[in-house]
Chain A
Amino acid sequence: MPISSYLQHDVLSRAEALGVKARIIVEGLRVGDHKSPYRGFSVEFVQHREYVPGDDIRHIDWKSYGRSERYTVKQYEQETNFIGHLVLDASRSMLYGEGAANKLEYAKLIIASLAHLIITQRDSASLNIFDQTWRTRLPTSSQMGHLRTILTALESCEPKEKTEVGNLLEDLASTSRRRGLVFVVSDGLVEVQDMLRGLRFLRLRGHEVTLLHVMHNDEMTLPFEGMVKFDGLEEMRHLLTQPHMIRTTYQRVVQAYLKELREGCEAMHCDYVLLDSTKPLGPALSQYLAARLRVRRI
């Protein structure tokens, strides 16, 4: 798929309208739209506090001293930019789906959209593509040129091995020193606990984690009729069955899996978004971002 195709106009327009607002204060090297937890010299006054020994005397508000003869220190809220870690699952299981409904393509679209949004806000974004290992890792950058690098990396990304998510997310958590937003785009066809373990490491590092769970509608409903031979995309095994006979059970199993994953995420205060690759991305992404703004947390 050409690079430009990942930046769909309608997707981006709706996303821009809503804006990407970090819910929590992230660290940033640059002054941006995002509030910083660091107090310092800045334009936006926050509060006064008592001077305590050790405070830099440069921050004493002498005007206040003149009025009250008490030493107070002025505190300002420092605005900063954030780092968005975009993590893409490029294992073979992501190959499922035809055309635009292909999970990997859909996931690439999500990554591209997020990258565009982040970088156009002058925030930094990094790209991490994995299967069993890290296949591509692009450093964080807020340069517009970096967006092109990301898109090129997405374009050249081909699915290969099996998914190994837990350890890789742990690795990501340990290597990213600064807290930020982590967007994990995956079909999640791994052990739930392994996925949750990886997400937990990220959360422990203070990242705001969002799991964008991409699934094809077929994988949730098993709509096939007749005799079907299922060839495993990651596993070299075949299953011959009549899907309609196991459909109910299958759907029950899938729902149980989704429920476990969702509840695991919620327990760790991770955002969990289930995306159906057969449905247009725009409305789904808009809905997610709107929800983020409504639930602003400090």
Chain B
Amino acid sequence: MSFLTPTMLWGALAAGIPIALHFFYRSRYRTVPWAAMKFLLTSMEQTSRRLKFQELLLLILRCLLLVVLALALARPTAKTSGSAGKGEAIDAVFLMDTSASMAARDGEKTRWERAREAALGILDQLPPYSTVQIVSCSDRATLAGPRVPSNLDQAKQVLDELKPSDLTTDLMPGAAEALKALERGNAPNKEVYVFSDMQKRGFEQQPSGLSENLKKLRERGMVHLVRCGTRTPSNVSIVSLTPQMGLPRAGQRTLFTVMVRNTGKEPVRNVVVSLSVNGKIEKGDIAAGPADGKQETENVVGPGETKPFAVSARLDKAGTNVLTARVENDELDRDNRFDQVIQVFEQLRILVVDGFVDEKNPERSASFFLRFAFNPIPVEVIPANQASAVSLSGKDLCVLSNVSLDPSQNQSGRVSERFLEALANFVREGKSLLIFGGSNVKAESYNRLLLDRYKLLPVKLGAAFKAPEDKPLSFDRNSARGAYDRVREDRNYQSMERVPIMQVLKVDEPKADAAPRAEGEAVEEVQVLLRYNNGMPAIVGRKRATEGDVLLFTSAAHDEDWTLWPLDPSFLATIQMTFRGLLDQQTPLLNRTVGEALTFSPTGKDAGLPFILVKPDGKRERLGVPQLAQGRPLVRTSETSMAGVYRMTPDREIIGEGAAVFAVTPDPRETEDLTALTNAELDDLLGFKAIHVTAGQNAGEWATDERLNREWTMWVLIVLMILVVSETVLAWVCGRAW
């Protein structure tokens, strides 16, 4: 039990008043000379016991009355603290779960609509002079308003404007924000309402932090958990959209695989998947073909099942295209749309710089196997000594195969420094570089030029390592990481484990904690993507923001003395995969998950223009002039909260020209498990018994009832009234005021 106005308990000291009055009145008498003393004595003898009893009873009753009065004024409640009685002003904080799952349909309404109605109902029932602060919370929290907490009309407006985002659920930041908001309030009575579907994920992301914050909230006020969902919705979500083969080419119909997962608890029937290309954008200023690849497939996806749906689309436009896959027939549509930006190539051009050209025995040339591996993409092979800046022009990928950088070496296998300079610019422009090892690759010259001077090499090279003849190295498929994840599972790569590798280049292991970089130097991520069975790196990749990727293969692509891998089918598959990954390297920056920020590095005169961001809902946000970061102009948005297609465009007369298109997909983690926690599970998790309510039609009334029931003042007043009546009757019967 606690008290809303505990200071009033001091009033219980007034219980001493009747006692004081008793003695006061005894000391304040008048003297009467009296003759008939014997009658008085007889009367008193006859009545003294009864009188004393009545006197004591009255005294106790009066003391009790004052104590109960003080108790009633102190307004006892059933809760420990911060609880309000009916009619008492309240500082309320509404923690609105705006995660994607709140958009799920639940009967005739969505969970969000239920939450909003419940919140509005509570707002209407708040006692006068109450304040409210609304915190919107997904995996991040913001104080949504109102600007003036006591302005409840403004709070209603905030509730009307607030919409569920596409972000995932994590109530911890929301609870922390709610705590701050609660502490800003001045009223002694505080109430926190968490409007959520009670999705498991929201409570299990940071359970200890959330529990701690909610406990703090509970210490300061009443915590109500308003359940806005009554059941787990049926849901299918699109988890990926990938071309089935090779790289999408302009003018060709390409087959895509749309992976659809049922994250609900019931099978979803009549699943319809459709695909559109530039579905929204081509109607605007950017010239693009209409959506034409709609295919509908009826099917059943069982609970927990992930099912591929094949859909095709014709890609008319080379360059950046936005594919939009949609799935229907479930109760949560937030993850039913999946946008993806893909690069469509009209004509790809690859430059292979051959450091060992053998015209007599072409199969011994360093470019021989690569030429076939890139098929059907036309490859331009050029001897190392002929490589120049011009040869890089118009190329999408450059491959250095057994190229020498050592001036003391044979002139034919060596590239000029001017080429290296052009190559550095080539990578800086976002084009990719592939480096293969070989006998011409000398650690000293590579480290000096490619690593130190042009900063192209991912790691420092060491001397060549020769495996014992009887025990050659092989690839360790399980070590595959990043873009090579597929190697671990795909059968096409099984033979890699049997390929003998005799020589490799030693390289330093990339440091997990890179040393602080100089200002303006790009932040890079160096990762060993594949290893040999002795743990040495086989493929090392380097990613730099706004730059092209660089991949280093520590073995050779041609030399039988180094490896027989080029003869293995897995070589072809690996090169194809590498190639696709490298060419499509820009799309990861364009394909983001909701919650991430969008970055774009404009080139040319656009770099000096202010940029605007056009959001999926058509709203615009000014981003300002690109700022120099890592030596390049960079436009950066705030974190996205909405899935869909974003366009970042210079703020000039023709909207869309020079725009960067971003596809932001819903966070798949949000709908992975839509299970809601039960009330008992919530209490267990939080470590205290919260007030559980289900949002319903009589929103707000239960809050008032609960407030009323929580306060015991009414009962205490009834007791007080009984005491007053008893006192009055007893005083009347006893015939005494005091």
B43 with A253: CB separation less than 8 A: yes
CA distance A56 to B38 in the complex (A): 61
Contact of B36 among A219, A226, A231, A249 (CB under 8 A): A219
B35 with A233: CB separation less than 8 A: yes
Which B residues from 490 to 514 make CB contacts under 8 A with A?
none
CA distance A92 to B46 in the complex (A): 26
Q: Which stretch, B21-29, B65-73, B347-355, B410-418, touches the partner chain A?
A: B21-29
Binding site for B on A (CB under 8 A): 92-96, 103, 187, 189, 216, 219, 222, 224, 226-235, 237, 239-242, 244-250, 252-254, 257
Contact of A219 among B25, B31, B39 (CB under 8 A): B39
B35 with A93: CB separation less than 8 A: yes
Contacts of B43 in A (CB 8 A): 246, 249-250, 252-253
Q: Chain B residue with minimal CB distance to A241?
A: B44
Contact of B40 among A103, A226, A230 (CB under 8 A): A230
Q: Chain A residue with minimal CB distance to B735?
A: A244
CA distance A147 to B527 in the complex (A): 146
**What 0/1 pattern do residues 1 to 45 of B give for CB contact below 8 A with A?**
000000000000000000000000110111111111111111110
Q: Is B734 an interface residue (CB 8 A)?
A: yes
B39 with A226: CB separation less than 8 A: no
A234 with B37: CB separation less than 8 A: yes
Q: Contacts A244-B735, A245-B51, A246-B51: A254 and B32 contacting too (C-beta < 8 A)?
A: no
Contact of B33 among A96, A189, A240, A254 (CB under 8 A): A96
Q: Is B47 an interface residue (CB 8 A)?
A: yes
B30 with A228: CB separation less than 8 A: yes
CA distance A241 to B41 in the complex (A): 11
B32 with A228: CB separation less than 8 A: yes
Q: Contacts A219-B39, A241-B40: A246 and B47 contacting too (C-beta < 8 A)?
A: yes
A227 with B26: CB separation less than 8 A: yes
A230 with B32: CB separation less than 8 A: yes
23 contacts between A and B (CB under 8 A): A95-B35, A96-B35, A219-B39, A222-B40, A226-B29, A226-B30, A228-B29, A230-B33, A231-B31, A231-B34, A232-B37, A233-B35, A239-B34, A239-B41, A239-B44, A240-B29, A241-B40, A244-B736, A245-B735, A247-B735, A252-B43, A253-B39, A253-B46
B37 with A237: CB separation less than 8 A: yes
| Nearest Cβ on chain A to B610's Cβ, whole angstroms | 92
A96 with B736: CB separation less than 8 A: no
Contacts of B28 in A (CB 8 A): 227
Q: Chain A residue with minimal CB distance to B46?
A: A249
CA distance A219 to B736 in the complex (A): 21
A239 with B734: CB separation less than 8 A: no
Q: Contacts A219-B36, A227-B29: A245 and B736 contacting too (C-beta < 8 A)?
A: yes
Given A94-B35, A96-B36, A189-B36: 5 more A-B contacts, CB < 8 Å: A96-B35, A227-B26, A228-B30, A230-B32, A241-B44
Q: Which of B32, B33, B36 has the most CB of A within 10 A?
A: B36
| Nearest Cβ on chain A to B630's Cβ, whole angstroms | 96
Contacts of A241 in B (CB 8 A): 40, 44
| Nearest Cβ on chain B to A38's Cβ, whole angstroms | 44
B40 with A250: CB separation less than 8 A: yes
Q: Chain B residue with minimal CB distance to A249?
A: B43
| Nearest Cβ on chain B to A246's Cβ, whole angstroms | 4
CA distance A139 to B175 in the complex (A): 112
A227 with B735: CB separation less than 8 A: no
CA distance A231 to B26 in the complex (A): 16
Contacts of A228 in B (CB 8 A): 29-32
B35 with A234: CB separation less than 8 A: yes
Contacts of A95 in B (CB 8 A): 33, 35
CA distance A94 to B47 in the complex (A): 27
Contact of A229 among B31, B36, B42 (CB under 8 A): B31
Contacts of A244 in B (CB 8 A): 735-736
CA distance A94 to B43 in the complex (A): 21
Q: Contacts A244-B736, A253-B39: A230 and B51 contacting too (C-beta < 8 A)?
A: no
A230 with B34: CB separation less than 8 A: yes
CA distance A248 to B44 in the complex (A): 11
CA distance A247 to B31 in the complex (A): 17
| Nearest Cβ on chain B to A124's Cβ, whole angstroms | 32
Which 5 pairs between the two chains have the least Cβ-Cβ distance? A227-B29, A93-B35, A230-B34, A250-B43, A249-B43
CA distance A246 to B51 in the complex (A): 8
**What 0/1 pattern do residues 47 to 68 of B give for CB contact below 8 A with A?**
1000100000000000000000
Contact of A232 among B25, B34, B46, B51 (CB under 8 A): B34
B40 with A239: CB separation less than 8 A: yes
Contacts of A189 in B (CB 8 A): 35-36, 38
CA distance A52 to B28 in the complex (A): 83
B736 with A242: CB separation less than 8 A: yes
A239 with B37: CB separation less than 8 A: yes
A231 with B33: CB separation less than 8 A: yes
Contacts of A187 in B (CB 8 A): 35
A229 with B32: CB separation less than 8 A: yes
Q: Chain A residue with minimal CB distance to B31?
A: A229
CA distance A240 to B41 in the complex (A): 11
Which B residues from 705 to 738 make CB contacts under 8 A with A?
734-736
